[in-house]
Amino acid sequence: MSAQVFEGEVIVDAPPAKVWAVLTNLEQFAGFMGFEWQSGNKTVSKVGDTARMKVWSDNATYFLTYAEPNKELRLALEPDNASYLCQKRWILTPEGDKTKVQLIDIYTESSPQSEESINSQIEGWNGHLAKLKAMAES
């Protein structure tokens, strides 16, 4: 297995607390990530909070593994079929009345990815960041 890493960032015209509220509301999180919230916590605030989600074609559990409110959030994904591991790390940095949001997504792949597949994934992650930005700014 090899690891894939996506790192991206976006400037959101909202304070960190507003971005944090979107990131920790798992129904909203599922919405901008293209997932489907199924059951469990609707919001996460303490390590160990979990929710069941449909992530693309996989049923999975999301776990909150680290939270420093309005600064950093880490969520780990465990698919039921145990075919990969995934961690999403969100870092919020105030920039005046805006927030720089950094996403570091680390996940395993069972085989090397083609350049076309990687470029498609990068486009997808940038789309997720754009949706987060729109949600937090509304």
- Residues pairing with 89 in the sheet: 74, 104
Domain segments of the chain as ranges: 2-137
Indicate the pLDDT class of residue 1, thresholds 50, 70 and 90: low
Average pLDDT, the chain: 91
Helix (H/G/I), strand (E/B), else coil: 96: coil
Average pLDDT, stretch 73-95? Answer: 94
Write down the pLDDT at residue 110: 60
For 15-69, write each residue's pLDDT tens digit: 999 999 999 999 999 999 999 999 999 999 999 999 999 988 889 999 999 999 9
pLDDT of 136: 96
Tokens of 57: 């074609």
Token pair belonging to 53: 């989600």
Give the CB-side neighbour count of residue 13, counting CA atoms within 13 A: 3
Rounded Cα distance, 93 and 50, in Å:
25
Specify whether the CB–CB gap between 99 and 93 falls below 8 A. Answer: yes
The confidence band for 85, taking pLDDT boundaries of 50, 70 and 90, is confident
pLDDT for 116: 86
Question: Which regions of 14-118 does DSSP assign to beta strands (E)?
Answer: 36-40, 50-55, 58-68, 72-79, 86-95, 98-109
Considering only CA atoms, which of 28, 77, 42, 76 is closest in space to residue 56? 77
User: What CATH number does domain 2-137 carry, 3.30.70.100, 1.10.3720.10, 1.20.1250.20, 3.30.530.20?
Assistant: 3.30.530.20
For residues 59 and 16, give the distance between their C-alpha atoms in angstroms, rounded to a whole number: 30
* Mean pLDDT, range 78-104, rounded to an integer: 94
Residue 125's pLDDT is what? 82
pLDDT band at 109 (very low <50, low <70, confident <90, very high): low
Query: Measured between alpha carbons, how far is 14 from 94 in angstroms, rounded to an integer?
Result: 9
